[in-house]
Amino acid sequence: MGTENTMHYLFAAYTAIWVILAVYLFSIQTREKKLHEELQNLRQLLERQSAKR
Amino acid sequence: MDQSRHKLFDSVLGGLLLIGMVVALYMAFLGAPREQTMGDLQRIFYFHVPSGMMGLAAFIVNCYASLMYLIKKDRKWDSLALSAAEVGVVFFTIVLVTGPIWAKPVWFVWWTWSPRLTSSLVLWMLYLAYMLVRNYVPDPERRAMMSAVFAIVAIVDAPIVFFSIRWWRDMHPSAMLETGGLSPAMWPAFLTCIAAFLILLIYLIRRRYFLESARLEAERLARLADLAR
Amino acid sequence: MLGKIWAVFQKDLLIELRTKDSLNAMLFFGIVVLVVFNFALESTRDTIRQAVPGVLWVAFVFSGTLGLNRMFASEKENSCLQGLLMVPMDRGIIYLGKTLAAAVFMLIAEGVIFVFSLVFFNLTVWAEIPYLILVFFIGTLGFTAVGTLLSAIAVNTRMREVLLPLILFPVVLPILVNAVEATGIILNTADYRALKLPLTIMTTFTIVFATLAYLLFDFVLED
């Protein structure tokens, strides 16, 4: 078990952690953007509907 | 919480998170001593174990929120339960990925049926099952109800699973030991990492919770728009 | 209260005994599992007695899951559940009646599967039988205690039959682990004192989950 080998595994582990967290945060962010858009559209739609009446 | 205070809290939390993570990294790599038998590889421990602890904390939050939903029937608790479960799965994924990466060079196997790792696997599967239940119940109220019931079953099951596996392990011991030993010099790094991950936990659950609230709001508005047509 | 439990239990029992659909499927599936394992473990002929507890309980669990799947399916299809819910009784009673019925069917299947396994794996067991019956009984009760509740949950989803094993197996692991160990202890060593721990865990599991399910069943059945 050479030191060089160990470092590879250590690097792999920390990379894995960052990748997992980054993917999750990215997915949340994407969903947030989509929802923000949808909320805007819905609010505009409701305003137009109440303006018609 | 009104918008401006909400935004302020978010920024403060985000800032704390960033600082916390940097400090944690520093402590894990430079602030902690080099372990005797495993060398630098042991440093995985500083992120592996706090992930596990926070995953467990997330599931406890999920259990509490599920119970509250069953009692109060307020959708907010269901949103919290969902958020906590999802974040818990993320943390346990980290545990299950870093575990084998640690085990391979040390014990020359990818998987050890140690009680902690195996229980982590089972807990992870239980919460994936929770997400599956949520995925396949179409009606929102029923979904909240079913998943809350399942969550409670899962959390009651967890300790029994742990003890069963531990006992089974005693019956069929293997050569590998789970390292529990922490020398006193390692504690500052360990505690720092726990703190950093705690902030991460709160940050993630919060963010996911507000996403879910926004989704519910969109649903509500969509229904209003339909009615007004 | 016992009378009501008995009534629900009898109803499920009679319905099933009339057609024996579920029971046949359970028996057949269990025996198929035995045969498949026999081929899968061909290379370990000598040590097959070591593998028997595991094989047995896998067969039991798969067979039992099949039975549980069908338990609420017919009720849902024929809207019998609404009828049942109109009777003024504690929802938990329905749970207890159904659990007992499921346990009985699973035990019947287990008995037959076990006899087949004696033949397939060339085992002779005489003195061990009372202990085996005890382990099978408690293990099955624990399994159906959780299974009935989760089956009621799964039947609400779009993926009924597929979802039940996915959510049931992780929860039921303690029973499986302990039952396999206990069966192994009985078959391969005669150290009956070692049975105390697995039997205690299984009994605890059964009591804890039966109580929990009894309390939670109300929430699952709201229709």
Structural domain spans, chain B = 15-29+39-175+184-228
For C141-168, how does the pLDDT look when each residue is reduced to its tens digit (9 = 90+)?
999 999 999 998 988 787 777 889 999 9
When pLDDT is cut at 50, 70 and 90, the band that residue B175 belongs to is low
* pLDDT for residue A1: 47
Tell me whether residues B228 and A46 touch, CB distance under 8 A: yes
* pLDDT for residue C2: 76
Of B175, B37, B44, which Cα lies nearest the Cα of B113? B175
* Dist CA B157 CA B113 (whole Å): 19
Average pLDDT over residues B70-81: 93
* pLDDT for residue C127: 81
With 80 as the cut, is the pLDDT of residue C12 above it? no
Q: Write phi, then psi, for B194 (nearest 5 degrees).
A: -60, -45
* Dist CA A19 CA A17 (whole Å): 5
C57 touches chain B (CB under 8 A): no
Residue B153 contacts residue C212 (beta carbons within 8 Å): yes
* pLDDT for residue C82: 67
* pLDDT for residue B88: 96
Residues 53-92 on B with a CB inside 8 Å of C are 70
* pLDDT for residue C223: 56
With 60 as the cut, is the pLDDT of residue B157 above it? yes
* pLDDT for residue C182: 92
- Assembly ipTM: 0.86
* Dist CA C32 CA C112 (whole Å): 12
Tell me whether residues B94 and A16 touch, CB distance under 8 A: yes
For C22-70, how does the pLDDT look when each residue is reduced to its tens digit (9 = 90+)?
888 899 999 999 999 888 887 666 677 788 899 999 999 999 999 888 7
Of A21, A4, C60, which Cα lies nearest the Cα of B204? A21
For B11-26, how does the pLDDT look when each residue is reduced to its tens digit (9 = 90+)?
888 888 888 888 888 8
With 80 as the cut, is the pLDDT of residue B207 above it? yes
* Dist CA B47 CA B49 (whole Å): 6
And the tokens for B61? 């939050």
Q: Tell me, yes or no, whether chains B and C touch by having 3 or more C-beta pairs under 8 A.
A: yes
With 50 as the cut, is the pLDDT of residue A51 above it? yes
In B, minimum Cα distance to A28 occurs at B208
When pLDDT is cut at 50, 70 and 90, the band that residue B108 belongs to is confident
